[in-house]
């Protein structure tokens, strides 16, 4: 009887491991495909569309892909300055940022900060949910390694700028530029770029609270440092 139970447990564990491996291979296949093919949607876009359609069944997302060369250099610098100043020098993870996040999490007694780089944020946007958990952070780390080992920094930033959320139903730099400034991503000026970059941590809230003090402080800090940000050519 005991042997049968042990065999049953062993088979269940083996099946679970096989499913995990298959899931990782499925993700890696997508990562490889997206080296030179543009993602048509992401996990965050799918969640955003579902959220919009709960209110309006005919709702559609605003999103238009634009190549890296057709995105303002000001926006590239603003995003790197705001989200990941060490983007060009790290291999997917900012060790100092992670250490600071761990200390904050331990102090709070729960997962409240992640110390995420642009690569980590992209991994989450493409495949995962917005929930905070150690399991999700582990999966995020695996996907980040996949992306960093197969994509160039230029490709990482290009995809990131084209898929991140910039408000309710608004995804990517082109849609954001059209929504907030009635211009193209290519024509964003320095101030507009800083203001868009300031929205990234909480875009749906900042969409309607751009006069808040917190937002204005973020814009000022980003404007101060974006001139020093180094981005891929």
For residue range 200-222, list pLDDT tens digits in order.
999 999 999 999 999 999 999 99
Instruction: Specify if 181 maps to a domain.
Output: yes
CATH number of the domain that residue 147 is part of: 1.10.3810.10
If asked whether residues 101 and 180 sit together in one domain, one would say: yes
If asked whether residues 21 and 45 sit together in one domain, one would say: no
Structure tokens at 55: 């209110």
Percent of the chain residues topping a pLDDT of 90: 78
If asked whether residues 10 and 53 sit together in one domain, one would say: no
CA 62 to chain centre: 17
Q: Is the pLDDT of residue 185 over 60?
A: yes
Cα–Cα dist 39/115, whole Å: 25
Q: Is the pLDDT of residue 61 over 60?
A: yes
If asked whether residues 5 and 75 sit together in one domain, one would say: no
If asked whether residues 23 and 127 sit together in one domain, one would say: no
Percent of the chain residues topping a pLDDT of 70: 90
Mean pLDDT of the 17-32 span: 94
φ, ψ (nearest 5 deg) of residue 165: -80, 140
Q: pLDDT at position 115, please?
A: 67
Instruction: Specify if 173 maps to a domain.
Output: yes
Q: pLDDT at position 103, please?
A: 57
Task: Please state the domain count of the chain.
Answer: 2
If asked whether residues 18 and 113 sit together in one domain, one would say: no
Instruction: Specify if 48 maps to a domain.
Output: yes
If asked whether residues 123 and 207 sit together in one domain, one would say: yes
If asked whether residues 132 and 28 sit together in one domain, one would say: no
Instruction: Specify if 10 maps to a domain.
Output: yes
Q: Which of 3-7, 65-69, 138-142, 227-231 has the lowest mean pLDDT?
A: 3-7
Q: pLDDT at position 189, please?
A: 98
Instruction: Specify if 94 maps to a domain.
Output: yes
Mean pLDDT across the chain: 90
Mean pLDDT of the 68-80 span: 98
Instruction: Specify if 70 maps to a domain.
Output: yes
If asked whether residues 42 and 22 sit together in one domain, one would say: no
Summarised one tens digit per residue, pLDDT across range 97-156 is 666 655 554 454 444 445 699 999 999 999 998 778 888 899 999 999 999 999 999 999
Q: pLDDT at position 112, please?
A: 44
Q: pLDDT at position 44, please?
A: 96
Q: E strand or H helix at 170, and its extent?
A: strand 170-171
Instruction: Look at residues 108, 146, 153 and name the one whose alpha carbon lies nearest to residue 127.
Output: 146
pTM more than 0.85: yes
If asked whether residues 189 and 125 sit together in one domain, one would say: yes
If asked whether residues 124 and 23 sit together in one domain, one would say: no
Do 74 and 193 touch, CB atoms closer than 8 A?
yes
Cα–Cα dist 199/208, whole Å: 10
Q: Give the CA dihedral 148, 153, 155, 158, nearest 10 degrees.
A: 120
Q: pLDDT at position 102, please?
A: 53
Burial label for 44, CB within 10 Å (0-12, 13-18, 19+), is buried
Instruction: Specify if 52 maps to a domain.
Output: yes
Instruction: Specify if 233 maps to a domain.
Output: no
Question: By residue range, what is the domain housing residue 200?
Answer: 34-228
If asked whether residues 59 and 93 sit together in one domain, one would say: yes
């Amino acid at each position: 009887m005991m042997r049968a139970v042990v065999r049953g447990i062993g088979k269940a564990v083996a099946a679970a491991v096989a499913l995990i491996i298959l899931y990782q291979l499925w993700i890696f296949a997508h990562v490889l495909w997206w080296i030179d093919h543009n993602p048509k949607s992401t996990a965050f876009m799918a969640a955003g569309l579902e959220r919009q359609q709960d209110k309006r069944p005919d709702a559609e997302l605003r999103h238009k892909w634009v190549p890296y060369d057709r995105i303002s250099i000001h926006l590239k610098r603003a995003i790197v300055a705001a989200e990941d100043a060490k983007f060009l020098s790290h291999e997917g993870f900012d060790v100092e940022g992670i250490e600071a996040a761990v200390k904050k999490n331990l102090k709070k007694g729960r997962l409240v900060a992640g110390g995420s780089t642009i690569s980590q944020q992209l991994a989450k946007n493409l495949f995962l949910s917005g929930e905070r958990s150690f399991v999700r952070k582990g999966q995020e780390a695996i996907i980040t390694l996949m992306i960093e080992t197969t994509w160039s920094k230029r490709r990482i930033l290009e995809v990131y700028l084209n898929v991140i959320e910039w408000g309710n139903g608004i995804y990517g730099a082109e849609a954001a530029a059209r929504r907030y400034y009635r211009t193209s991503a290519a024509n964003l000026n320095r101030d507009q770029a800083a203001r868009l970059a300031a929205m990234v941590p909480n875009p749906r809230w900042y969409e309607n609270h751009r006069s808040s003090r917190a937002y204005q402080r973020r814009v000022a800090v980003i404007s101060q440092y974006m001139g020093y940000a180094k981005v891929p050519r």
